[in-house]
Structure 1
Amino acid sequence: MQRFLSAHFCRGGTSKGLFFQDHAFAKVSQETRNKIILAAMGSPDPDGLWGRNLFIIQSSHPPRAWCRSPRTRLCERNGWDVVYRFCQVGVREPELDWGSTCGNLVSAAAMTAINWNLVPTESVLHSMANEESTTLPVRILAANNGLIVTAKVPVMLSPSRTVVPITGGDAVISGVPGTGAPIVIETPILQAPLRTKHSRETLSIDGNEAS
């Protein structure tokens, strides 16, 4: 018997990925989940022509009574709106790597979360009463490394008075055709940006100095 799962395919920067909500796999085993992911992404691909990425986004305000309240309190205490879990899908081999993450698709994760109504929008609804558009900050917990990243997404009101991402704009990314809405990503810096604490260093290589 065939079953259907809702998914969202979206570009973020120079990357593109397939997004699922966590409850899509709530009633299946990890083995079945992995098979679904591999099949959805067309892995393995013996020709190896296309790189593939898969992403799962989990709501901090899920539409399930059994975890809505606890996760809402957890969200408010720890300062995030959604959880972003990344999986790299093998091309030639049916392999899944859950140990890395993808910064490019943070913007896509934020837009997907807004489209799925996973992000509280009360904070911007009042300000949009007199404006056509505004910016909605989406706080994303990257599950693979534990960092909380903020994506500032341009949004507007739809005809049904719901907050939706703005897709059109004049932002340009090298290697990506066309233009789109600019999304600002704020990533915490956990270490000093200059490891030696000097803005300039001089190195001696085979008797020659370079700086």
Structure 2
Amino acid sequence: MMTAPQIKIPATYMRGGTSKGVFFKLDDLPEQARVPGPARDALLQRVIGSPDPYGKHTDGMGGATSSTSKTVILSKSSQPEHDVDYLFGQVAIDKAFVDWSGNCGNLTAAVGSFAISNGLVDTSHIPQNGICTVRIWQANIGKTIIAHVPITNGEVQETGDFELDGVTFPAAEVVIDFMDPADATGAIFPTGNLVDTLEVPGVGSFPATFINAGIPTIFLNAADLGFDGTELQDAINGSAEMLQRFETIRAYGALQMGLISDIAEAASRQHTPKIAFVAPPKSYSASSGKAVAAADIDLLVRALSMGKLHHAMMGTAAVAIGTAAAIPGTLVNLAAGSGKLDAVRFGHPSGTLRVGAAAEQQNGDWVVTKASMSRSARVLMEGWVRVPGDCF
């Protein structure tokens, strides 16, 4: 029996923040995959190794977690005053779909570096030494992100002494500014309320803050769920019953946020919204064994991504945390002590992260102009990925 030979596609495997993904230039993809549709989705699934009923991604580039089953497509920007268009695809692990409904804030840290190194940024904008400001158009959500990438001798500086909890080795610091991080309609709070009551049939009733900033997110109080906010991955991910409970809450939250019109739609929208729970500061040991002191943080946050508790914190969810913390009266702000908070340091399973946001009221509505955080990024491997020529 004759079978199609493998083809090779130029690609770069990069870490950005606490995530990893396979990066492509749009023009390097096979022609059928240069436009949205089934061919593109099938190709990216095969690259990652999904769907994998074993949940291992043995036959692909994925790492069998939500943080490592990611793909990025970049091109010179079609938007005025932007350098690069950034399209993110979250590949499901054991199901045959790619979720295009949101951004990956962690991989954003690698977008500027890739764009500079791969000729997507005009050379006149790149200093010989210093910081290159890369203006990114985030195509999934229609927002501007600015990456401040360090440059040494005309090339991206990847090594350095910046330490990021959840990443083993230090690297160069990349500052990321998420401009006007509310959703495209400008509605930070989709229900118009800072706190709502979320009714979940068969599960319970919970105070919740629904927010569209960085990524649509549902914030709950840890105590209302029976947690204290210091939980690590095994405490949540080891229980199928607990994960199903979170997924049910997430589905009804998505419905109340207006992201879906029927509960059944949540199953095909795993990437958004995120669900997270918050608590006041408390000392704990991070997953690495590092001691996190209550005095060193403003609050505790744990978040789930693609149905599992995240090992650290999604970059987009960090934007949501910073935004909600800056607005008095949200569950996040109350957990952090309430009041005007321009920046917070929160504890997550791998350690801590600081995020800031600029919020103000305009005509009675809250407006957030910018949220900022520091990440790091580096190239892990570059060359080609190979896939069977008939897989898409």
TM-score for the superposition, normalised by structure 1: 0.75
Q: By how many angstroms is 1:80 displaced? A: 0.9
Provide, for residues 147-170 of structure 1, a one-character-per-residue CA deviation record: whole Å limited to 9, x for no partner: 10000000122xxxxx32111100
In structure 1, C-alpha distance between the alignment counterparts of 2:83 and 2:19, rounded to whole Å: 22
Equivalent runs, 1:130-145 vs 2, <5 Å: 133-145=129-141
Q: By how many angstroms is 1:26 displaced? A: 5.9
Question: Would the aligned equivalents of 2:144 and 2:178 in 1 still touch at CA under 8 Å?
Answer: yes
The change in CA–CA distance for 1:31 and 1:109 in structure 2 (over 3 A counts) is same
1:118 aligned to 2:115?
Answer: no
Query: Which is further off, 18-27 or 148-157?
Result: 18-27
In structure 2, C-alpha distance between the alignment counterparts of 1:166 and 1:123, rounded to whole Å: 16
In structure 2, C-alpha distance between the alignment counterparts of 1:96 and 1:103, rounded to whole Å: 17
Query: Which is further off, 17-26 or 108-117?
Result: 17-26
1:194 aligned to 2:327?
Answer: yes
In structure 1, C-alpha distance between the alignment counterparts of 2:329 and 2:120, rounded to whole Å: 42
Question: Would the aligned equivalents of 1:121 and 1:136 in 2 still touch at CA under 8 Å?
Answer: no
Equivalent runs, 1:162-181 vs 2, <5 Å: 163-181=154-172
Segments of structure 2 that go 5 or more residues without pairing to the other structure are 57-63, 183-187, 189-322, 341-392
Question: Would the aligned equivalents of 1:15 and 1:104 in 2 still touch at CA under 8 Å?
Answer: yes
In structure 1, C-alpha distance between the alignment counterparts of 2:161 and 2:14, rounded to whole Å: 18
Equivalent runs, 1:49-198 vs 2, <5 Å: 49=56, 50-51=64-65, 52-60=69-77, 71=78, 75=79, 78-125=80-127, 128=128, 133-157=129-153, 163-189=154-180, 190=182, 193-194=326-327, 196=329
Q: By how many angstroms is 1:25 displaced? A: 3.5
| Match for residue 26 of structure 2 among 22, 25, 37 | 22
The amino acid that maps onto 2:339 is: R
Query: Which residue pairs with 2:14 in the alignment?
Result: 10
TM-score for the superposition, normalised by structure 2: 0.42
Query: Which residue pairs with 1:68 in the alignment?
Result: none
Query: Which residue pairs with 1:42 in the alignment?
Result: 49
In structure 1, C-alpha distance between the alignment counterparts of 2:125 and 2:40, rounded to whole Å: 36
In structure 1, C-alpha distance between the alignment counterparts of 2:172 and 2:155, rounded to whole Å: 12
CA RMSD across the alignment? 2.3
Larger fraction in strand = 2
Provide, for residues 46-98 of structure 1, a one-character-per-residue CA deviation record: whole Å limited to 9, x for no partner: 222412111111223xxxxxxxxxx4xxx4xx321100001110101121111
Q: By how many angstroms is 1:119 displaced? A: 0.6
In structure 1, C-alpha distance between the alignment counterparts of 2:48 and 2:120, rounded to whole Å: 24
Q: By how many angstroms is 1:196 displaced? A: 5.0
Query: Which is further off, 40-49 or 9-18?
Result: 40-49
Q: Matched residue of 1:107: which SS?
A: helix
The amino acid that maps onto 2:75 is: Q
Q: Matched residue of 1:33: which SS?
A: helix
Query: Which residue pairs with 1:204 in the alignment?
Result: none
Query: Which residue pairs with 1:64 in the alignment?
Result: none
Q: Matched residue of 1:154: which SS?
A: strand
Segments of structure 1 that go 5 or more residues without pairing to the other structure are 61-70, 158-162, 202-211
The amino acid that maps onto 1:183 is: V
Q: By how many angstroms is 1:5 displaced? A: 1.0
In structure 2, C-alpha distance between the alignment counterparts of 1:34 and 1:93, rounded to whole Å: 12
In structure 1, C-alpha distance between the alignment counterparts of 2:71 and 2:32, rounded to whole Å: 18
Q: Matched residue of 1:20: which SS?
A: strand
Provide, for residues 154-197 of structure 1, a one-character-per-residue CA deviation record: whole Å limited to 9, x for no partner: 0122xxxxx32111100101111010000000112455741559
The amino acid that maps onto 1:12 is: G
User: Percent identity of the aligned residues?
Assistant: 31
The amino acid that maps onto 2:55 is: G
In structure 2, C-alpha distance between the alignment counterparts of 1:123 and 1:40, rounded to whole Å: 33
